[in-house]
């Protein structure tokens, strides 16, 4: 993974983490645990695809 790609990935993960914090403090979210679980699923899918793509680009070199 190139440095620029890693910085973009880190920014996306950071924003997802901020979303999780916001959900935890949001009084109107009645199903916090489910919302946090969904964010975790999104992050896992994102990281899996991003890291898989980084590995594919390394193999092409």
Residue 25: what pLDDT? 85
The H helix count followed by the E strand count for the chain is: 2, 0
Note the pTM of the prediction, 2 decimals: 0.75
| Secondary structure (3-state) at 30 | coil
Taken as a whole, the chain contains a residue count of 61
Render each residue's pLDDT in the chain as its tens digit; 61 residues. 889 999 999 999 999 999 999 998 886 767 888 899 999 999 999 999 999 987 766 555 4
Residue 56: what pLDDT? 63
């Amino acid at each position: 993974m190139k440095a620029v790609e890693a910085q973009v990935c880190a920014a996306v993960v950071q924003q997802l983490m901020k979303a999780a914090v916001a959900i935890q403090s949001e009084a109107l979210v009645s199903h916090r645990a489910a919302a946090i679980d969904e964010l975790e699923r999104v992050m896992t899918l994102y990281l899996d695809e991003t890291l898989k793509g980084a590995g594919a680009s390394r193999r092409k070199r």
